[in-house]
């Protein structure tokens, strides 16, 4: 039977989600736990990779099981075997043709920024800046990303045929001294959210105007610098 897993993890202790031989990864730890239950090697497939230090509250993975175990019991078994910085929040039986990457209709990401004095306890979970930027400028710039655009300037690597995707929502919310950037898109490219946040902060600091976003999307500006991974969370993968 094909099982869909919804995962949460603290990415600070992992070298990303994709399995790597010499480093601790989400895929590696999950496959080790599944091996104990299945008594054979199993390769999982995820809805998308997350980089080193990136967190998740709604990552999705899939694998085929030959064990006749109820999903609720399989969830309990895996959580008893997984390290404390990974948890399976849900397991569902799916049709045999379910594909977590291909079938996803949108992904939701959150980036967290803390304004004020540096707090070492937040170092792994947020970007910290000293002064509040121009929030109105950042909010106007965030809205420009909505729509279908070429995000080559906001991506790293040359492994994609196309860097075009559709952003469904992009906005900034402020709660006291916290800035939350939320973005949903059909698909994301490597470092895309972190580079968007980097440009938004440059705009908030007065380096660029909000309208500069259009120049970057048109490829008429240099590649954007990425902010640190610690503030990024994959919130949810949707299939509706």
**Which residues are tagged catalytic?**
51
C-alpha–C-alpha distance, residues 59 and 146, integer Å: 23
C-alpha–C-alpha distance, residues 132 and 85, integer Å: 32
Percent helix, percent strand, percent coil in the chain, to nearest 5: 25, 30, 40
C-alpha–C-alpha distance, residues 102 and 196, integer Å: 24
Alpha-carbon distances, residue 66 vs 29, 36, 91, 141, 199 (angstroms): 20, 13, 15, 50, 48
Task: Report which of 75, 61, 63, 74 is spatially closest to residue 17, judged by C-alpha positions.
Answer: 61
Q: How many CB atoms lie within 10 A of CB 20?
A: 14
- Under DSSP, is residue 37 helix (H, G, I), strand (E, B) or coil? helix
DSSP state of 20: B
- Under DSSP, is residue 214 helix (H, G, I), strand (E, B) or coil? helix
| Tokens of residue 19, six digits | 């399995």
Cβ atoms of 123 and 101 closer than 8 Å: no
Residues in the chain: 240
């Amino acid at each position: 039977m094909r099982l869909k897993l919804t995962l949460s993890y603290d990415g600070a202790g992992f070298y990303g989600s994709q399995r790597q031989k010499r480093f601790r990864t989400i895929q590696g730890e999950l496959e080790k736990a599944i091996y104990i239950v299945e008594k054979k090697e199993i390769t999982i497939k995820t809805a998308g990779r997350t980089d080193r230090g990136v967190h998740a509250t709604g990552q999705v993975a899939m694998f085929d099981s030959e064990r006749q175990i109820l999903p609720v019991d399989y969830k309990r078994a895996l959580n008893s075997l997984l390290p404390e910085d990974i948890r399976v929040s849900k397991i569902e039986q799916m049709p045999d043709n379910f594909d977590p990457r291909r079938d996803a209709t949108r992904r939701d990401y959150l980036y967290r920024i803390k304004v004020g004095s540096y707090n070492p306890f937040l170092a792994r979970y947020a970007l910290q800046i000293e002064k509040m930027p121009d929030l109105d400028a950042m909010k106007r710039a965030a809205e420009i990303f909505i729509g279908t655009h070429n995000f080559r300037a906001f991506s790293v690597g040359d492994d994609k045929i196309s860097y075009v995707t559709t952003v469904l929502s992009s906005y900034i919310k402020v709660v006291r001294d916290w800035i939350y950037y939320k973005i949903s898109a059909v698909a994301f490219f490597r470092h895309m959210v972190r580079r968007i946040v980097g440009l938004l902060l440059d705009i908030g600091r007065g380096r660029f105007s909000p309208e500069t976003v259009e120049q970057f999307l048109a490829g008429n500006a240099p590649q954007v610098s990425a902010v640190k991974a610690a503030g990024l969370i994959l919130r949810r993968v949707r299939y509706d």
